[in-house]
Amino acid sequence: MRLFTETGFISLNHVGEQLCGDRVEVIREDDKTLTMVLADGLGSGVKANILSTLTSKILCTMIAGGMSVEDCVDTIIKTLPVCSVRQVAYSTFTILRITDAAHAELIQFDNPNVILLRGGKSVEYLIESREIAGKTVLESRIALQPRDVLLAMSDGAIFAGDQQIMNYGWQRDDIIAYLERLYDESFSAKMLAALVADECSQLYAGAPADDTTLAAVRIREASTVNLMMGPPADPRDSDKMMRTFFGQEGTKVVCGGTTSQLAAEYLHETITTVQDRTADPAIPPIGRLKGVDLVTEGVVTMRRAVEYAKAFAENSDLMNLWNVQTDGASLIAQRLLEQATEVRFFIGKAVNPAHQDPNLPIGFGVKIRLIQELAGYLEQLGKRVSIQYF
């Protein structure tokens, strides 16, 4: 099994604040090795944002660079000031270092304890307490298994609903029970973080009284999705494009009427249209073609899929309704945003005059712009992305 360490995080800003006082920093060395730091600046607003940003960047860089935990924690604790009123450090933090998708080193300072899910159930892990630079730091080493999930959080999560919907907020045990009830092994790290963040938002009645961040890491099997869109600029390259695309391992998605016809001819198969009355009528229907996992229309469908990817990457829509919808754009989103750890685009550069934007340079098609925009959002989500043009 080829494993991949998948990450996903979401932050909710304190009501009335433009900047979040929490910060997540990730440095990925390869598919199996990464360092993630979640820092929570004291209070909210600009000061908290600056201090949590400093904390997360300094710690993540030092840990990923191979410095010892003692040196890293000692440096950050001595660097950050202490609040003269509360006598606490201006930033708390959680450090998660994963190597070979099999070993996790966890360092926690004043954040709620990380939750470990194995098979959808919470698993306790050994925590050792020690003093570094006069501060109590919790340290753990965990042997990971495929499909394990580690969920870190700022204290805004456990205070959600405090004195509003719940007497003492949404405690860690409540979050565990919620995750265990809704857990599905197909959910990505980002989706799991989004589920908890959405519940926090509802408990805060849409007005978070504290910055709230959920950051998840999931050990999962690597999965490649190949997407082909548009015929080649030179029709003589059609066979080459098809051979290259169908020679790849992984899920196959074909977008566009002309492209799907070329694929059908190459496979010596026939496309049939799937009529789905429950699907969004604004999105053209999907097709069925033996040898291809998903066949959709081109630009109209892709434009909607890009909108979904943008909202998912920028955390502007916690509902993610595309995850349960059956139109072509939603099915593309499910495969690229949830299923894939790697996405390979195979894009034909033939120009369709009907799809040109007069505001763009001559010859730069809407199709190309959409794919490049989508690739950017996928990279924000930590996926490996490549684009091959024909």
| Same domain assignment for residues 203 and 81 | yes
Which tokens is 17 given?
């604040």
C-beta of residue 35 within 8 angstroms of C-beta of residue 4: no
Mean predicted lDDT score pLDDT of the chain: 91
How high is the pLDDT of residue 265?
Answer: 97
| Same domain assignment for residues 235 and 137 | no
| Same domain assignment for residues 205 and 242 | no
- Name residue 192's amino acid: L
Helix, strand or coil, per DSSP, at residue 387: strand
| Same domain assignment for residues 159 and 14 | yes
Which tokens is 375 given?
């690739």
Helix, strand or coil, per DSSP, at residue 212: strand
Q: Domain limits at 316?
A: 224-389
| Same domain assignment for residues 174 and 242 | no
| Same domain assignment for residues 213 and 240 | no
How high is the pLDDT of residue 203?
Answer: 92
Final residue before a domain boundary, out of 187, 221, 255? 221
Q: How confident is the model at residue 362 (pLDDT cuts 50, 70, 90)?
A: very low
Final residue before a domain boundary, out of 201, 221, 241? 221
| Same domain assignment for residues 277 and 209 | no
Q: Could you give the CA distance from residue 304 to residue 325 in angstroms, rounded to a whole number?
A: 13
Following CA atoms 96, 179, 310, 215 in sequence, which dihedral angle do they give, to the nearest 10 degrees? Answer: -20
| Same domain assignment for residues 185 and 231 | no
How high is the pLDDT of residue 73?
Answer: 83
- Indicate if the pLDDT at residue 49 is higher than 50: yes
* pLDDT tens string 96-135: 999 999 999 999 999 999 999 999 999 999 999 999 878 8
Lowest pLDDT segment from 74-88, 121-135, 223-237, 273-287? 74-88
Report the domain count for the chain: 2
Provide the total of helices (H) and of strands (E) in the chain, helices listed first.
10, 18
- Indicate if the pLDDT at residue 178 is higher than 80: yes
- In this structure, the number of other CB atoms found within 10 A of the CB of residue 336 comes to 26
Helix, strand or coil, per DSSP, at residue 329: helix
Q: Could you give the CA distance from residue 4 to residue 325 in angstroms, rounded to a whole number?
A: 27
* pLDDT tens string 211-241: 999 999 999 999 999 999 999 999 999 999 9
- Indicate if the pLDDT at residue 88 is higher than 90: no
143-150 average pLDDT score: 97
Q: Which H or E element spans position 386?
A: strand 384-389
Domain of residue 53, CATH code: 3.60.40.10
| Same domain assignment for residues 327 and 178 | no
Final residue before a domain boundary, out of 180, 195, 221? 221
Q: How would DSSP label each residue in 31-54?
A: SS-EEEEEEEESSSSHHHHHHHHH
Highest mean pLDDT among 162-176, 217-231, 312-326, 339-353: 217-231
Which tokens is 87 given?
């006598």
Residue length, the chain?
Answer: 390
Q: Could you give the CA distance from residue 9 to residue 25 in angstroms, rounded to a whole number?
A: 10
| Same domain assignment for residues 209 and 229 | no
| Same domain assignment for residues 186 and 287 | no
| Same domain assignment for residues 90 and 142 | yes
Q: How confident is the model at residue 287 (pLDDT cuts 50, 70, 90)?
A: very high
